[in-house]
Amino acid sequence: MINFELTREYIENLRELIEVNDETAIKLLLEELHPADIAEVYEELDLDEAKVLYFLLDDDTAADVLTELEEDDRRRFLTSLPSEVIAKRFIDRMDTDDAADILGELDVAKQQEVLSHLDDISNAGDIADLLSYDEDTAGGMMAKELIKVKENWSVPTCLRSMRKQAEEVDEVYYVYVVNADGVLVGTLSLKRMLLSPIDTQIKNILNDDIISVRVDAASEEVANIMDKYGLVALPVIDGVGRLVGRITIDDVVDVMREEAEKDYQMASGITEDVEISDTVWIHTRARIPWLLIGMLGGIIGSRLVGGFVGLLQQHPELAFFMPLIGAMGGNVGIQSSAIIVQSLASGSLGIDTNWTKLLKELTIALLNASVLSSIIFGYNYFIGAELALTGTVAAAMFSVVVFASLFGTFIPLFLSKIKIDPAVATGPFVTTLNDIIGMFIYLMFGTLFYNLFV
């Protein structure tokens, strides 16, 4: 496999070969590429060119490439193909979880058409079963392909069954053991099985210390469990404990990436998951809510400043430091909230640690506030600023940093408590409120210090 770098020259060369229908040369260009690289190439081609490219790939590679495509590109390509082609050339070659994910992007009528063209009725049934689960649950993430044996089997019976089942499984991470009712009772160590007497029953050598997850568990919970225990695969059980599938590490990586993208967008003030290829309307709809909230915050801030217009007219030098106070409040708040959101997302924040976290954040805030207020006090003192301005800026800096730190800590915890994604607290929400409250604190200190010293 080569280390591929997509260039304009490569795409132009490929387009010329497609135009003259030089199938041999096209295959030579593609044969050493990973499916992810071919998917990258596809995204630079138009639909007709992509079809030429796809139908020159072998069936297994074509199926792998399809799973690597961006969702919008994949949907665009699939909707242009007959259901039978999708079934025979792609879905039939995929693991059930990938097949269900791809079919889930199509409308229900198209899904049923594709499933009806699958030769393996059992496989079609497994995919249909997976489509019934919410995509953000363990059931929606799992695959049906796994190796399971029964606890009352002997070692030879177990080996024969495992050989047969392994033909349908790409990667064997665990061998699961079930009882006569299909309830998961443990896992089987291949080494222990091979070293056991031939008449040994599996129930005598299984490992019953197993971690599993129910089909209705949230995808975030699945990711946290696999991360916490360092698992590469996680069995999925139904409501009565029967083994129904497994989730592998590659599926969890996808979830982690999607959650990270979603949290980053929310922290940036984007209210829904968007891609660069989405329409102008979708992007506008996703961005405008927090922009409106930010504008409302700005209006409130302007009205607040207007209430101190007399103070600012008499002492216009106060206006010089207003941007500094606002910026520091926003920055400190985002730092604090980002740490808490990260801890909540990873599950490292215990259920009873709220006050401990607040106390720790208070200590950090007091230290940071002391350093920053001392620096700004020294700056104003050495440039010869009057005492009232020096005291106002230093006192406001100290208070705003402490308040913003505690605010940025408390808000994510509160939002998590009331079942709202705390990622919203790391963006415009914290920044806007800290700007308003920070400005109020600054102008109140200005009023106090100028009354005392002027």
Q: CATH number of the domain that 33 lies in?
A: 1.25.60.10
**176 and 52 in one domain?**
no
CA dist., res. 226 & res. 233, Å (int): 8
Strands (E), 126-239: 147-150, 175-178, 184-188, 213-214, 233-237
**Integer Cα distance of 280 and 136 in angstroms:** 27
The secondary structure of 239-290 as a DSSP string is: TTSBEEEEEEHHHHHHHHHHHHHHHHHHHTT--S---TTS-HHHHHHHHHHH
User: Which of 91-95, 282-286, 427-431 ranks highest by mean pLDDT?
Assistant: 91-95
The mean per-residue pLDDT over the stretch 171-200 comes to 90
Task: Of 94-103, 395-404, 411-420, give the lowest mean pLDDT range.
Answer: 411-420
Structure tokens belonging to residue 248: 């592998």
pLDDT exceeds 70 at position 1: no
Burial 297-321 (b: 16+ CB within 10 A, else e): beebbeeebeebeebbeebeebeeb
pLDDT of 131 reads 92
Residue 160 one-letter amino acid: R
Q: Is the same domain home to 241 and 350?
A: no
pLDDT surpasses 80 at 423: no
Task: Examine the domain organization and report whether 37 and 130 are in the same domain.
Answer: yes
| Average pLDDT of span 140-153 | 92
pLDDT value at 150 more than 80: yes
Q: Of 110, 141, 172, which residue sits at a domain end?
A: 141
Confidence grade of residue 374 (pLDDT, cut at 50, 70, 90) = very high
Read off the pLDDT band of 191 (50, 70, 90): confident
Domain boundary among 87, 120, 141: 141
Beta-strand pair 184-188/175-178: antiparallel
Q: Can you tell me the distance from the alpha carbon of 258 to that of 247, in angstroms, rounded to the nearest whole number?
A: 16
pLDDT of residue 334: 82
Q: How far apart are CA 332 and CA 354, in angstroms?
A: 19
Task: Work out how many domains the chain is built from and give that number.
Answer: 3
pLDDT of residue 400: 94
Torsions phi, psi of 178, nearest 5?
A: -125, 160
What is the pLDDT, as a whole number, of residue 430? 78
The pLDDT score that the predictor gives to residue 348 is: 63
7-65 pLDDT, tens digit per residue, is: 888 888 888 888 888 888 888 888 878 888 888 888 888 888 888 888 888 878 888 88
Q: Confirm whether 386 is domain-assigned.
A: yes
The answer to whether the predicted template modeling score (pTM) of the entire model surpasses 0.75 is no
Residue 329 covered by a domain: yes
> b vs e for 52-72, b when ≥16 Cβ sit within 10 Å of the residue's Cβ?
bbbebbeeebbbbbbbbbeee
261 domain-assigned: no
Residues 312, 251 share a domain: no
pLDDT at 47: 83
- Domain ranges, residue 384: 280-453
Structure tokens at 41: 């190439």
pLDDT number for residue 2: 58
**CATH number assigned to the domain comprising residue 361:** 1.10.357.20
CB of 343 within 8 A of CB of 358? no
- Indicate if the pLDDT at residue 349 is higher than 70: no
430 shares a domain with 296: yes
Confidence of residue 350 (pLDDT cuts 50, 70, 90): low
pLDDT tens-place string over residues 62-117: 888 888 888 777 888 888 888 998 898 888 888 898 889 889 888 888 899 999 99
Q: What's the confidence (pLDDT) of residue 146?
A: 92
Average pLDDT of the chain to the nearest whole number: 86
Do 252 and 320 lie in one domain? The reply is: no
Same domain, 307 and 429: yes
